[in-house]
A and B are shown apart, each in its own frame.
Chain A
Amino acid sequence: MTFLQILINIIYTSCIVILLSYSFAISYYPVKFFNITFAAIISTGAYLTYLLFRQLNIILWIAIPIATFLSAFIGVLFNIFIYRPLNKKKASSLLMLLVSLGIYIILQNCISLLWGDEIRSLQIANVKIGHEIFGAFITNVQIITISVSLTLFMLTIYFLEYNKIGKCIRAVSTNKELASIQGINSERVILWTIGIGSCLAAVAGILVATENGLTPTMGFNLLLSGVIAMIIGGVGSNCGLIGGSILLASAQQLTAYYMDSKWVDAVAYLILIMFLIWRPLGISGKRLKKIEI
């Protein structure tokens, strides 16, 4: 019963991490820099939903899509006005990272200004005991979260595989120069990836907020776990990404249950480091030139 409950926790956490890491990964492949702005997009999505649903009393099922698209719009705007010119100047990826950190600081403080730093609640229903399955419990919100994240994940993969824009995205992610030779407008494709990524990130933020409430800084830790899952999975592989998320979630949840609570972080990260040393290229093990020494 305890084991089953831990299993449910792991599944729930990994679903959120999958969504987070995929939202980050989809725009990481073509631009190849750590876009910390996503941390702000995660909280923006949640706070916009809060604004529409709680403060303007719009029905939740309308509020969520509006909030999602608005956050995607913000993400795209930043891309057009800041990252694109920087990219033209051939700024290094680290410089871009620093700029995205600056944008994160700006957006996070804007949220603090507008809604304050205290926790806000976005509970859809009253918190009550979940459905019992063999002694373990699962709540409606958890079921919704798991199904929504998996559905979105599948949809995005389907989109990338079979849609024309999706194919362009994959082409640009693999090789920008080659894609341009084929006549693909890589700038526009990057905008698409930022848009899709921001949508997914905002949804992830909303899903987390319905369970844990909202704070302006909620996005940073969430993004970090997404990035780590992506890198552990091995850049450029969907299966690896799922594996990375499950590994990260299991490491967190299992150490939390079995270890002395104060060493949880240390042990969870040691497991990740050990894993990276065992498989230096992540789960998918996609080859990098440097390591083949």
Chain B
Amino acid sequence: MKRFNYQLEIITVIVTVMLLEGCHSFEKKNVQIGLIADLSGTMATYGKWVKEGAELAVAEINSNSTQKIDLSFEDSKSDPKSALSALEKLYNINKIRMIVAGNSSSCVMAMAPVVNDKKILLFSTLASSPNITNAGEYVFRNRISGTFESQSMAIEASKLGMKSIAILATNNDAGIPYIKAFTDKFKEQKGEIVASILINPGQSDFRSYALLIKTLRPEAVFLVTTVDQAVNFINQSITIGFTPKWLGISSLKTDQFITNGGKNVEGAIITNEGIDQNGKRYIEFSSKYFKKFGENPTIYAVNGYDAIHLLYESYIRTNNIEMVKYELLRNSFSGAAGIIKFDENGDVVKDLELLKVEGGKFISIK
């Protein structure tokens, strides 16, 4: 066994450390909240936003109130198995029973059975899949469901007088739910879907798709993709002389969309979760966020920020996880996103608004 000496030694060290940590009793004076987010891997950008929003909330709480908060980060690496390991670690080692999740719906779905079994509160800030709605009584989220978002977009699009639309969506849990909801609703409004194209996560060459959609001559293209893919698609379409109206979902409301898209994204219309952009909380939050991280907050940062505040406030009032659950279901809260309420499935109830890119800014239109 000589050749495995080093590996064996390392394994022994690892297991010892884990056992020691497990026996180590934590000081539990502070409110314990965990954050499991995709901080590396394909979804890293999104996880980072949630984390930054959460960090800001924690800093705020810890400087303002006597009852402080301990936030423990774990990386789920955009992988369901890793998310589950992180959850087991936070629950068993750090004894945390309130967790904010900043990862894709497949990670949330993998964690959901354990969470319901062990009565841990899981607060998803990022996943838009309709799966989450029925993921269990201990799973909450303040990202609106993709179904709702795409239905609203379909109605708004037909109000804007659009008759034919092509859909470009990522072929994963973040893209698929939008297609059917949008298609059904738009057909109801007597519109026509000329094509729905599925792209791979991580793909960046869309020239053939742009060409294909160009030959079908839709009035608009609905982009259900990440920011980089949306910008690449728009740029590559423009180089072959294809300039329809661009529609998008709220994941596009980022500074990168404007800076990388430049003039080409002018006039693009996207949905946005009903954030009261003129609300006092939001203005305060966004200026603080801008000062700390140098960019305007995305919807995910807002959700991460609100999630921490919600859990903290409910926990302070009740001091009991079960009660926090009822508190979340019963009450409405005011956060950076405005008034936040949850339905009986733990899904957030929010309005949607439309934003239009004008002069390098997102302008609200009604």
Q: Do chains A and B touch in the complex (CB under 8 A)?
A: yes
Among A6, A109, A121, point to the contact of B211 (Cβ < 8 A): A6
Which of A125-133, A180-188, A194-202, A270-278 forms contacts with chain B?
A125-133
A55 on the interface (CB 8 Å rule)? no
Whether the Cβ atoms of B212 and A217 lie closer than 8 Å is: no
A118 on the interface (CB 8 Å rule)? yes
Count class of interface residues, chain B: 35 or more
Tell me the nearest residue of chain A to B196, going by C-beta. Answer: A261
A174 on the interface (CB 8 Å rule)? no
Whether the Cβ atoms of B232 and A213 lie closer than 8 Å is: yes
Whether the Cβ atoms of B260 and A119 lie closer than 8 Å is: yes
Contacts of B200 in A (CB 8 A): 265
Chain A 125-144, CB within 8 Å of chain B: the 1/0 string?
01111101000110100100
Known A2-B211, A218-B204: A129·B40 in contact at CB below 8 Å = no
Main secondary structure on B side of the interface with A: helix
Known A118-B45, A119-B231, A213-B231: A261·B197 in contact at CB below 8 Å = yes
How far apart sit A44 and B2, CA to CA, in the bound complex (Å)?
A: 38
How far apart sit A2 and B256, CA to CA, in the bound complex (Å)?
A: 32
B240 on the interface (CB 8 Å rule)? yes
Whether the Cβ atoms of B256 and A262 lie closer than 8 Å is: no
Known A112-B44, A127-B235: A261·B262 in contact at CB below 8 Å = no
Contacts of A161 in B (CB 8 A): none
How far apart sit A288 and B207, CA to CA, in the bound complex (Å)?
A: 38
Whether the Cβ atoms of A217 and B240 lie closer than 8 Å is: no
Contacts of A284 in B (CB 8 A): none
Contacts of B44 in A (CB 8 A): 112, 117
B42 on the interface (CB 8 Å rule)? yes
- Chain B nearest CB from A216 CB (Å) reads 8
Whether the Cβ atoms of B48 and A116 lie closer than 8 Å is: yes
A61 on the interface (CB 8 Å rule)? no
Tell me the nearest residue of chain A to B243, going by C-beta. Answer: A129
Among B40, B171, B208, point to the contact of A112 (Cβ < 8 A): B40
Contacts of B238 in A (CB 8 A): 127-129
Whether the Cβ atoms of B231 and A257 lie closer than 8 Å is: no
How far apart sit A211 and B235, CA to CA, in the bound complex (Å)?
A: 9
Known A117-B44, A119-B256, A217-B42: A257·B227 in contact at CB below 8 Å = no
Known A212-B204, A257-B211, A262-B171: A129·B240 in contact at CB below 8 Å = yes
Chain A 199-219, CB within 8 Å of chain B: the 1/0 string?
000000000100111010110
A160 on the interface (CB 8 Å rule)? no
How far apart sit A7 and B66, CA to CA, in the bound complex (Å)?
A: 68
- Chain A nearest CB from B327 CB (Å) reads 35
Closest 7 CB pairs of A and B: A256-B208, A119-B228, A117-B44, A212-B204, A121-B260, A262-B198, A261-B197
List B residues at the A interface (Cβ < 8 Å).
40, 42, 44-45, 48, 171, 197-200, 202-205, 207-209, 211-212, 215, 227-228, 231-232, 235-236, 238-241, 254, 256, 259-260, 262-264
- A-B contacts, 23 of them at CB < 8 A, read A2-B215, A6-B208, A9-B207, A118-B228, A118-B256, A119-B228, A119-B231, A119-B256, A121-B259, A121-B260, A127-B235, A127-B238, A129-B240, A212-B204, A212-B205, A212-B232, A213-B228, A213-B231, A213-B260, A218-B204, A253-B208, A261-B197, A262-B198
List A residues at the B interface (Cβ < 8 Å).
2, 5-6, 9, 12-13, 109, 112, 116-121, 123, 126-130, 132, 136-137, 139, 142, 208, 211-213, 215, 217-218, 221, 252-254, 256-257, 261-262, 265
